[in-house]
Amino acid sequence: MNGVRRSGLSLAELVAFWLAQLLVGVTGVALLVLRLSPPPEDAFAAVAPSFPFWQHAHVLAAPMLVFFLGLLWARHASPFLRARRPWIWGPEMMLGQDVHGKVLGIVGFGRIGQAVARRARGFGMKVI
């Protein structure tokens, strides 16, 4: 939605654009909220009852990214990538830590937090 808003479209033009589509999908979690019974002055008032809106129920991108970044951090990937550019690295550069048996603390145990916890348990991590 930010990309469309940055293009200079008004809210009414945005709604008209969306209605011309077959379906509107939102892949993020809690990034966009459409009220289905808006006040009369709202731009969605005339179209809300028939507005085709769909939000993905099982969002995997965010927990996968969170866990992937954690694995990169544990394996010291960032220093390795920096050292690789001038070719001043040796085999000991990739000796990071193993995540098996480690403790992972998750702040916020919503849908994304629960998905991250499932992946962490798959690596034998203790989740708190």
Together in a domain, 78 and 94: yes
Together in a domain, 69 and 105: yes
35-44, 81-90, 106-115: segment of lowest average pLDDT: 35-44
Angle (nearest 5°) at CA 14 between 58 and 65: 30
Distance CA 74, CA 126 (A): 15
Together in a domain, 51 and 66: no
Together in a domain, 25 and 69: no
Identify the domain containing residue 6 by its residue range: 2-55
Together in a domain, 67 and 106: yes
Give per-residue pLDDT as tens, 14-72: 667 766 664 455 445 444 444 444 444 554 455 454 545 445 555 667 777 777 878 77
**What is the number of structural domains in the chain?**
2
Together in a domain, 50 and 67: no
Together in a domain, 45 and 86: no
Distance CA 43, CA 60 (A): 32
Adjacent-strand bridge partners of 126: 103
Together in a domain, 32 and 69: no
pLDDT at 86: 64
| Angle between helix 111-122 and 61-74 (nearest 10) | 50
- Mean model confidence pLDDT for the chain: 66
* Higher local confidence (pLDDT), 4 or 100: 100
2 pLDDT band (50/70/90 cuts)? very low
